[in-house]
Amino acid sequence: MEYVEHVVDLVGNTPLVKLNSLTTGIKATVLAKVEYLNPGGSVKDRIALRMVEAAEKSGELQPGGTIVEPTSGNTGVGLALVAQRKGYKCVFVCPDKVSEDKRNVLKAYGAEVVVCPTAVAPEHPDSYYNVSDRLVREIPGAWKPNQYANPENPASHYHQTGPEIWRQTDGKITHFVAGVGTGGTISGTGRYLKDVSDGAVQVIGADPEGSVYSGGTGRPYLVEGVGEDFWPEAYDKTIADQIVEVSDADSFDVTRRLAREEGLLVGGSCGMAAAAALRVARDLPEDAVVVVILPDGGRGYLSKVFNDRWMASYGFLPPDSTGATVGDVL
């Protein structure tokens, strides 16, 4: 019989898929690491497992404990999966702007979701930050992973994502491209690839226009899961050789092309990272091997990047391309 003991055992070892259509005119090989094939649907399954196991070892998380984290997305799913396997409770705190669908995904895995008003200042007692801190103080046995500052976040990529890529490319990788959110992926994977190649692998960060990593002030952008308005501890500023700034328009254009031309239905931060990878690959020779991380799947974004009306409402598609027919109310 061929089976795994638990779905959590399937975290990691995601495949590399060659990009064919988007790379027309490019001589280098561009390979996408498809993280939506993790059981929770994103790269964050990796960090969830390692952060929880480290907290068990250090005693911060005890049997029957509760994981409390302000997250509405992929990290929550990863933590909920691991918590279920190991018998912990999960309480996630998210702002009320987070869609009901996203909250329901977390509840479906058995987590409790506490919703906070978006329209209050960070110092207000009902703010997202204050509520999660209060819950950690009030719930007995509560532990907050804090992915932004937890060293196990980059460590999971140093010990797993990096070695996978090195092995899968037979050591032929020349350039590594990843979007930067907490910075865990690029810092851990990038550090490993630099160490194992004696510094030969070039590490490129992709960042939304307006975010701090590419020199912005944190002004708003629409792509989700990447970019910041502060410098997280999980981000190692010494790793990236280059940061490529990508506009929302380019991120969403490449996201849609990944689905339509490569069969990869992925999220907007994947389009952003792929746009940066293609820009880098354009100037590279035939023997270059570029690996780009695609962090999650596209199903969570069907009402945004894959919705023509949403795209048109932000000017990413012309108003006459919304697919509306006579009689539709736009």
* Distance between CA atoms of residues 292 and 186, nearest Å: 10
Strands 29-34, 142-143: parallel, antiparallel or unpaired by DSSP? unpaired
Which listed residue (23, 29, 66, 74) binds ligand PMP by CB under 6 A?
A: 74
Closest separation between CB of residue 224 and ligand PMP, Å? 6
Is the Cβ of residue 284 or residue 296 nearer to ligand PMP in the bound state?
296
Which listed residue (73, 162, 190, 210) binds ligand PMP by CB under 6 A?
A: 73
Two tokens, residue 303? 């009402």
Question: With CB under 6 A as the contact rule, which of the stretches 2-10, 90-98, 180-188, 283-291 interacts with ligand PMP?
Answer: 180-188
Q: Is 296 in the site for ligand PMP (CB under 6 A)?
A: yes
Instruction: Please name which of 175, 171, 232, 127 lies closest in space to residue 30, comparing C-alpha atoms.
Output: 175
> Which 3 state secondary structure label does DSSP give 87?
coil
* Distance between CA atoms of residues 151 and 47, nearest Å: 10
| 44 membership: H or E segment, kind and range | helix 44-58
Is 44 designated active site? yes
Q: Is 181 in the site for ligand PMP (CB under 6 A)?
A: yes
Q: Is 180 in the site for ligand PMP (CB under 6 A)?
A: yes
Q: What share of the chain is helix, strand, coil (3-state, %, to 5)?
A: 40, 15, 45
Closest separation between CB of residue 85 and ligand PMP, Å? 21
Q: Is 297 in the site for ligand PMP (CB under 6 A)?
A: no
Closest separation between CB of residue 190 and ligand PMP, Å? 11
Which listed residue (76, 183, 208, 271) binds ligand PMP by CB under 6 A?
A: 183
Question: With CB under 6 A as the contact rule, which of the stretches 1-9, 87-95, 174-182, 254-262 interacts with ligand PMP?
Answer: 174-182
Q: Among 18, 27, 33, 44, which one carries the catalytic annotation? A: 44
> Which 3 state secondary structure label does DSSP give 75?
helix
Q: Is 185 in the site for ligand PMP (CB under 6 A)?
A: yes
Q: What is the DSSP string of 171-234?
A: T---EEEEE-SSSHHHHHHHHHHHHHTTT-SEEEEEEETTSGGGT------S--S---SS--TT
Two tokens, residue 156? 């999971």
185 within 8 A of 148, measured Cβ to Cβ: no
Q: Is 226 in the site for ligand PMP (CB under 6 A)?
A: yes
Question: With CB under 6 A as the contact rule, which of the stretches 61-69, 98-106, 158-166, 183-191 interacts with ligand PMP?
Answer: 183-191
Residues of this chain that bind ligand PMP (CB under 6 A)? 73-74, 179-185, 225-226, 267, 269, 295-296
Q: List residues with catalytic annotation.
A: 44
